[in-house]
């Protein structure tokens, strides 16, 4: 089984000629043509999107989760603070009108 990768222009606008998979001297299991319009390669999984190892993506995911967790805690603390301040403002409000010391009488 083999696949043909057609020629393409890479990111530097250089024409890369077509090739067949698996490549000579490459992995014999890489029988599919994978990639995008500007990079093509032979792979063993037809649903593969990147020719790189995926270990770096794990660290990106962990970093994103930590960042989102911190943002969620800060947002939660902000909302709790606003609610507490609103409650204190409403509960400490005087129930009756204050005497301003001015009497409103007609002369």
Q: Same domain, yes or no, for 57 and 39?
A: no
Tell me, yes or no, whether 105 lies in a domain. no
60 has pLDDT over 80: no
Which domain does 28 fall in, by range? 4-43
Domain check: are 15 and 36 in the same one?
yes
- Tell me which residue of 6, 67, 73 sits closest to 38, measured CA to CA: 6
Q: Does 77 score more than 90 pLDDT?
A: yes
87 and 57 together in one domain = yes
**If pLDDT is split at 50, 70 and 90, which confidence band does 100 have?**
low
In the predicted structure, residue 96 carries a pLDDT above the cut 80: no
What's the structural domain count of the chain? 2
Indicate the average pLDDT of the chain: 82
107 in a domain, yes or no?
no
pLDDT of residue 30: 86
CA distance 3 to 94: 81
Whether residue 65 sits in one domain with residue 35: no
- Asked if 60 and 50 count as a contact pair (C-beta separation under 8 A), the reply is no
**Mean pLDDT of all residues in 66-82:** 96
């Amino acid at each position: 089984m083999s696949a043909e990768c057609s020629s393409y222009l890479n990111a530097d606008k250089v024409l890369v000629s077509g090739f067949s998979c698996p490549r000579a001297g490459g992995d014999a299991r890489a029988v599919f043509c994978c990639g995008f319009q500007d990079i093509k390669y032979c792979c063993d999984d037809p649903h593969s999107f990147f020719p790189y190892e995926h270990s770096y993506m794990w660290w990106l995911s962990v970093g994103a989760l930590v960042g989102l967790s911190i943002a969620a805690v800060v947002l939660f603390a902000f909302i709790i603070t606003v609610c507490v301040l609103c409650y204190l403002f409403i509960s400490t409000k005087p129930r009756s009108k204050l005497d301003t010391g001015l009497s409103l009488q007609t002369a």
